[in-house]
Amino acid sequence: MEDSVSAWAERIRNAAATGTALCIVGGGSKQFYGRVQQGEILDVSSHRGVVSYEPTELVVTVRGGTPLAELEALLATQGQFLPFEPPHFAPGATVAGCVAAGLAGPRRATAGGVRDYVLGVKLLDGRGQVLTFGGQVMKNVAGYDVSRIIAGSLGTLGVILEVSLKVLPRPVAEATLHFAMSEADAIERLNQWGGQPLPLSASAWQEGGLTIRLSGAEAAVSTACQRLGGERLDAAESGAFWQGLREQTAAYFAAAATRPLWRLSVPSSAPPLKLAGTQLIEWGGAQRWLVGELPGEQIQARASALGGHASLFRGGNRDGEVFAPLAPALLALHRRLKTAFDPAGILNPGRLYQGF
């Protein structure tokens, strides 16, 4: 393992000296995400394996190339899981790719996102230096914020060699309920339920139907089911439904395979988008998926008017900007971070925004 890291460090130093762009690749499951990748391939998938796992401490440390499925299987033996439900999108998905993409599944609104569970990272930066930030416990605040900014950085700040993640026990009981409901009524109902002591762990609305998941203690889930009513899905149907959302294999996403798929992040109480296209709503109303051919500027403008932002998740023109425009101050901060970690600008250049 150390020989591989040394070889990658040497290659990065040589690339920095010659200005050669490097495209960091692990499992390749999320290459569609972000702007078009550039540069010579730097395959880091061989750096894999569990460094340490302390079930009683709810923390695991693994190398970046470790298959995500392998980590989740290990956690399952102890009745534990990654609460943010990271999508795989392909069998080869890795832990480093999970963190670098910063994507979360249906449980995100109640459990938190990827960065909320990153305790520490070991990174190979654009100078070929191995840097370590954070630790293995939540109380270790030294460098903790640096660990968190790696989540969602898409490899633009360095190669993730190791990551320490907080894990949690799986819920004892779960139930999925379905209701026939309009979009506006679903948004209103989700915000009402969100302010009540209900064990909500996921929600999804599409084409006149609202589906919610309840997770927690047996008594809490049973009581909530009786209180809310609706049609209860059986375990197999429920599992397939949420897995389809998490991995985007559900019919809604499958039908959008050849069309632009937009992800809008807005306040959960925001009214209906009223944009042409087909829509799916998650995260208690805070995440709105939109499939359509509308100009990106129009979608961005509508998201901004609702107090949020939009990004082109799949398809469309990935040579242009796919993420929401940054305010000047925030753009300057991003550039400073890029310069601090990758002064030559060789690691996944332009993957997030044009020019860095």
pLDDT at 317: 86
For residues 19 and 262, give the distance between their C-alpha atoms in angstroms, rounded to a whole number.
Answer: 34
CA 253 from centroid of its chain's CA atoms: 17
Of the two residues 144 and 275, the one the predictor is more confident about is: 275
The predicted structure's pLDDT at residue 169: 98
Task: Measure CA 268 to chain center.
Answer: 18
Above 90 in pLDDT, residue 137? no
pLDDT tens-digit series, residues 94-127: 999 999 999 999 999 999 999 999 999 999 999 9
With bands split at pLDDT 50, 70 and 90, how would you rate the model's confidence at 136?
Answer: low
pTM of the model: 0.93
Q: How confident is the model at residue 300, as a pLDDT?
A: 95
Task: Give the mean model confidence (pLDDT) for residues 196-221.
Answer: 97
Residue 304 one-letter amino acid: S
Residue pLDDT, tens place only, 1-55: 677 999 999 999 999 999 999 999 999 999 999 999 899 999 999 999 999 999 9
pLDDT tens, residue by residue, 269-323: 999 999 999 999 999 999 999 999 999 999 999 999 999 999 999 998 888 889 9
DSSP state of 275: -
Q: Percent of the chain scored above 90 by pLDDT?
A: 90
State which H helix or E strand residue 264 sits in: strand 261-265
Mean pLDDT of the 155-165 span: 97
What is the identity of the amino acid at 12? I
pLDDT at 139 over 70: no
pLDDT at 99: 97
Q: Which helix (H) or strand (E) holds 209?
A: strand 209-216
Q: What is the mean pLDDT of residues 179-188?
A: 98
Position 184 pLDDT exceeds 90: yes
Look over the chain and give the mean of its residue pLDDT values, rounded to a whole number. Answer: 94
What's the CA gap between 240 and 190, in Å, rounded? 22
Residue (of 81, 85, 82, 80) closest to 106 by Cα position: 85
When pLDDT is averaged across residues 250-255 and rounded to a whole number, the result is 92
Report which of 12, 10, 35, 81 is spatially closest to residue 346, judged by C-alpha positions. Answer: 12
Adjacent-strand bridge partners of 43 = 25
Nearest alpha-carbon partner for 325 in 345, 311, 313, 339: 311
Is the pLDDT assigned to residue 141 strictly greater than 90?
A: no
Label residue 323 exposed, middle or buried (CB < 10 Å: 0-12, 13-18, 19+).
Answer: middle
- The pLDDT > 70 percentage for the chain reads 97
Helix (H), strand (E), coil (C) string for 98-130? HHHHCCCCCCHHHHCCHHHHEEEEEEECCCCCE
Token pair belonging to 40: 């010579």
Residue 175: strand pairing partners: 214
State the DSSP code for 171.
Answer: P
